[in-house]
């Protein structure tokens, strides 16, 4: 298994390794596109564990996660869902957009996120103990959180929490250069623009540019677009539909890129 590249920003890797050694569930909090998924992929590979990823959303039920009966050539066969596979394989189970998880999904996960480490599959009337290595990692973006979707205390208090945020400028430039193949000087210019968009909250922008969008800008520039055109597509137009905010970002791009 090749190791997905991840630039450690603080001591998140050390904390993850300790929690993994103790099989404790982990909660990653942070804005979109700041490296949470890449971090989990990197850590799972480093620990030599399979990774199973699930995006939580309103339509995803506990039954979808445990498994279902399928018709195969006239026979009815059981097929394990992602959580059952993770429990049987000793995988890292990564659930992103975790605040979107339905109550039945939370009920399913609770006995897997404490010392019982048991999965109940109602349709099979079976209890499956999680094998060693199985670990639950969840993530969410507190910035997007609607009041109705706040994590319940009884859920939140099952996790070791790790806060993520966008890295300092020099580290973010290193990431952008690595991911896009551009020069560090170009990456630093794009990061300066991206970081400036994160200060536009007062003007109504919900969230500034993610590291992911800055990487896209660098890739577009690498493929031949001017810096300004690359920034316009990724940092102005992608960030907002509000013409005033788009204009504010364009002004900012022009002044920053000189
Ligand atoms: P999210 O926080 O939404 O899960 P991702 O992990 O998908 O974000 O990160 C988006 C992109 O940003 C990644 O594909 C990668 O290119 C880049 N990235 C962000 N932070 C890092 C990091 N610390 N190391 C390596 N790549 C990073």
Residue 200, pLDDT > 90, answer no
Three-state DSSP class for 138? strand
Q: How much of the chain, in percent, has pLDDT values that exceed 70?
A: 97
Ligand 1, atom 11, residue with closest C-alpha: 212
Average pLDDT rounded to a whole number, residues 68-84: 94
Each residue's pLDDT tens digit, 100-121: 999 999 999 999 999 999 999 9
Q: Which pTM was predicted?
A: 0.95
Taking the CA atoms of residue 9, residue 10, residue 14 and residue 15 in that order, the dihedral angle to the nearest 10 degrees is -110
Among 33-37, 78-82, 139-143, the least confident range: 139-143
- Residue 152's pLDDT band (cuts 50, 70, 90): confident
For ligand 1, is residue 37 a contact (CB within 6 Å)? yes
- Pairing state between β 26-29 and 135-140: parallel
Which of 33, 169, 170, when mutated, tests ligand 1's pocket best, judged by the most ligand atoms within 8 Å of its CB? 33
Task: Please identify, by atom number, the ligand 1 atom nearest to the C-alpha of residue 8.
Answer: 23
User: What pLDDT does residue 150 have?
Assistant: 78
> At a CB cut-off of 8 Å and minimum separation 6, what does 227 contact?
186, 189, 190, 217, 221, 257
**Mean pLDDT score across all residues of the chain:** 94
């Amino acid at each position: 298994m090749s190791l997905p590249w991840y630039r450690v920003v603080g001591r998140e890797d050390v904390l993850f390794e300790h929690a993994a050694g103790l099989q404790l569930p982990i909660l990653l909090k942070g804005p979109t596109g700041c490296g949470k998924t890449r971090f989990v992929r990197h850590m799972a590979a480093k620990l030599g564990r399979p990774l199973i990823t699930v995006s939580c959303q309103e339509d995803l039920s506990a039954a979808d996660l445990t498994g279902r009966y399928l018709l195969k050539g006239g026979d009815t066969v059981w097929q394990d869902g992602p959580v059952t596979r993770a429990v049987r394989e000793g995988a890292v189970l990564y659930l992103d957009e975790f605040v979107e998880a339905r109550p039945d999904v939370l009920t399913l996960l609770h006995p897997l996120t404490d010392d019982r480490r048991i999965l109940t599959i109602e349709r099979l009337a079976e209890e499956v103990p999680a094998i060693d290595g199985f670990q639950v990692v969840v993530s969410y973006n507190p910035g997007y959180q609607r009041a109705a979707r706040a994590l319940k205390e009884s859920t939140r208090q099952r996790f070791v929490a790790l806060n993520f945020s966008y890295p300092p400028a020099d580290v973010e430039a290193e990431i952008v250069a690595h991911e896009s193949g551009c020069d560090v000087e170009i990456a630093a210019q794009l990061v300066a623009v991206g970081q400036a968009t994160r200060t536009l909250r007062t003007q109504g922008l919900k969230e500034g540019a993610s590291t992911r969008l800055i990487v896209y800008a660098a890739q577009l520039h690498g493929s031949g677009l001017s810096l300004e055109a690359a920034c316009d597509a990724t940092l102005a137009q992608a960030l907002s539909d509000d013409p005033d905010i788009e204009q504010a970002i364009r002004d900012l791009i022009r002044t920053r890129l000189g």
